[in-house]
A and B are shown apart, each in its own frame.
Chain A
Amino acid sequence: MTANIFVMNPTAAGGNEQAAVPEALDGLRGKVVGFIDNSKPNFDHLIAEMAEILESRYAARSIVRRKRLASIPAEDQVFAELVQECDLVITGSGD
């Protein structure tokens, strides 16, 4: 019978504290919704359509901030503005 050896795990924990998603909003009516446009083709059109639905059905207001490139994070100032002004922020990933 073959003896056992011990090998070391090559992965590493992330170290980010696991947080709960913040409290729900009790609906969208009258809320301020921020969008971070990832600048991929058509995402601007998706945001325009969603903003129109938000306004016409929920009397909600939209704020849009566009990233120059999809593969970089939004600037700290954008996060600070959206956190200050918005009840909900929607961002995008993908093509």
Chain B
Amino acid sequence: MAIEVCSTAFSGLGRSQAKALGYPDLPLAVVRHPFGSLSRAEIRWEAEECMGKIAAFAKQARNDRARPPGGGTDAVRLIAVADDAESVNLLFRERQWTDGLPIVPPTRERVEHMLSRSGYMPNEFIARVAPAFGEATAESIAVNAVMAGCDAEYLPVLIAAVEAISAPEFNLQGIQTTTNPSAVWLLVNGPIVSRLGMNSGINCLGQGNWANATLGRALHLVMQNIGGAIGGEMDRATMGQPGKYLFCCAENEAENPWQPVHVERGFSANDSVVTVIGAEGSLNLNTHSKDALEILRIFAETLVRPSGNDYFLCGEPWLIISPETANILSGEGLAKGDVKRSLWEQSKLPARRLTDVDLNLTRIRRIAELGEVTQDTMLPIATAAGSIGIVVCGGPGTHSMYIPSFGNTRSVSRKVRLNAYQTEP
């Protein structure tokens, strides 16, 4: 027998998650939120209350009524609605099927067109998407792609991204249900970038490019609709962040003095590859210095912050380096690995800068990696220098960017499966 103890703010997540995993009747014992700030006397009181509930659960009669298979989502695949934009959007708003923006109605014809040149069969299984573990097929992904406004040629990229976010090491379960402001940054490499007209250059993370915008949006719609992470329900983000609408760009391979990310990860330069990163935001890294050592010092000092999950949890921080700056660093003989090592060495955080509570948590979380953590420990931002991600994007200017990670996540790359139609010149 099993029982889950939830703080009040998480009881909805507990119920939804139990249902998604096939245990809708899993007993829940609820304690006050925020539990972490209660005194020992208050905890004793909560323990008494909890044990009373647990003792009652332990005696309850077995509930063994037959239940239908499936996660309980609306099984009706086609819904009739008046043929006007207002009615369709009202339907999707009421059912919590949009990200808050208007959608393109996913008619069967549009979905069939989306799939028509993808090389995927409609019922082809792609992945289960946490936290509801909804079954993503090529068709269900295509429905969300239509809604986001994707062109049909984009679908294989989106499908590869769904495969990537569902890899265990990405920890989508954590990313989708955490109180942290976590979004998925979708990075694209290879020939598909120019084929789809993606933006890897000036304003690549900003507005205005159809492929960047709709692919990034479609991935988050899949996470919401197939993954079941509806804000305020299973998605428990305290604030969220704008990247939860969309967060997508391509690498500027033409102006990159180093190996692009996909080649660094063992793919061929001619492969088209998606990489997904569990990102907590974006921070401008600006210096007008043209000196490589100064630039690295300034970057490293900006990474150091005692409120960062990368330090508590040992994450995988990423830097988006502008072409100008990458070429200054490369011009002074620094390989990408040299840059990572320099940043890793210079960004160590003195453990004494953490609060006592955070230091205690860090001790538990990083003991296998660092041994006993004391006030004098210098905490590295990642397990090893190689765990820092570096990608070259953007246009002219002195601005690079720090993308802190959710912490308990590792980026995942997947090759885009393209058929002959999509690769012909």
A and B: real partners? yes
**A residues at B contact (CB < 8 Å):** 2-28, 31, 39-43, 45-46, 49-50, 53-54, 57-58, 66, 68-69, 71-73, 87-95
Q: Does B411 contact A (CB under 8 A)?
A: no
A12-B136, A41-B36 as given contacts; A24 in contact with B73, CB under 8 Å:
no
Q: Does B296 contact A (CB under 8 A)?
A: no
Please tell me if the beta carbons of B78 and A25 are within 8 angstroms of each other in the complex: no
Please tell me if the beta carbons of B50 and A21 are within 8 angstroms of each other in the complex: no
Instruction: Return the contact of B1 from the options A3, A24, A40 (Cβ within 8 A).
Output: A24
Please tell me if the beta carbons of B21 and A16 are within 8 angstroms of each other in the complex: yes
Please tell me if the beta carbons of B81 and A95 are within 8 angstroms of each other in the complex: no
User: CB-CB < 8 A to B33: which residues of A?
Assistant: 94-95
Give the tally of cross-chain contacts (CB within 8 A): 263
Output the least CB separation between A32 and chain B (Å): 11
Instruction: Return the contact of B62 from the options A8, A23, A28 (Cβ within 8 A).
Output: A23
Please tell me if the beta carbons of A11 and B50 are within 8 angstroms of each other in the complex: no
**Complex Cα–Cα for A91 and B2 (A):** 8
A46-B35, A46-B43, A94-B6 as given contacts; A7 in contact with B81, CB under 8 Å:
yes
Q: Does B70 contact A (CB under 8 A)?
A: yes
Least CB separation from A20: chain B residue: B64
Q: Does B361 contact A (CB under 8 A)?
A: yes
Output the least CB separation between B25 and chain A (Å): 5
> By DSSP majority rule, is chain A's interface helix, strand, loop, or mixed?
loop
Please tell me if the beta carbons of B10 and A28 are within 8 angstroms of each other in the complex: no
Please tell me if the beta carbons of A14 and B35 are within 8 angstroms of each other in the complex: no
Least CB separation from B180: chain A residue: A71
Output the least CB separation between B360 and chain A (Å): 8
> By DSSP majority rule, is chain B's interface helix, strand, loop, or mixed?
mixed
**Complex Cα–Cα for A88 and B58 (A):** 8
* Chain A binder among B83-91, B153-161, B242-250, B282-290: B83-91
**Complex Cα–Cα for A58 and B65 (A):** 30
Q: Does B221 contact A (CB under 8 A)?
A: yes
Please tell me if the beta carbons of A93 and B59 are within 8 angstroms of each other in the complex: no
User: CB-CB < 8 A to A24: which residues of B?
Assistant: 1, 57-62
User: CB-CB < 8 A to B29: which residues of A?
Assistant: 90
Q: Does B132 contact A (CB under 8 A)?
A: yes
Please tell me if the beta carbons of B55 and A7 are within 8 angstroms of each other in the complex: no
Most chain B beta carbons < 10 A, residue from A2, A49, A93: A93
**Complex Cα–Cα for A5 and B106 (A):** 10
Please tell me if the beta carbons of A92 and B55 are within 8 angstroms of each other in the complex: no
Please tell me if the beta carbons of A7 and B91 are within 8 angstroms of each other in the complex: yes
Q: Does B5 contact A (CB under 8 A)?
A: yes
Please tell me if the beta carbons of A50 and B47 are within 8 angstroms of each other in the complex: yes
A9-B78, A10-B225, A20-B65 as given contacts; A49 in contact with B43, CB under 8 Å:
yes
Please tell me if the beta carbons of A20 and B62 are within 8 angstroms of each other in the complex: yes
User: CB-CB < 8 A to B101: which residues of A?
Assistant: none
User: CB-CB < 8 A to A40: which residues of B?
Assistant: 35-36
Instruction: Return the contact of A41 from the options B46, B72, B228, B357 (Cβ within 8 A).
Output: B357
Please tell me if the beta carbons of A4 and B81 are within 8 angstroms of each other in the complex: yes
Q: Does B147 contact A (CB under 8 A)?
A: yes
Instruction: Return the contact of B361 from the options A5, A15, A23, A39 (Cβ within 8 A).
Output: A39
Q: Does B211 contact A (CB under 8 A)?
A: no
**Complex Cα–Cα for A3 and B75 (A):** 24
**Complex Cα–Cα for A11 and B48 (A):** 41
**Complex Cα–Cα for A73 and B365 (A):** 14
Q: Does B178 contact A (CB under 8 A)?
A: yes
Please tell me if the beta carbons of B22 and A91 are within 8 angstroms of each other in the complex: no
User: CB-CB < 8 A to B24: which residues of A?
Assistant: 18
Interface residues of B in 99-116 (CB under 8 A from A): 105-108, 111
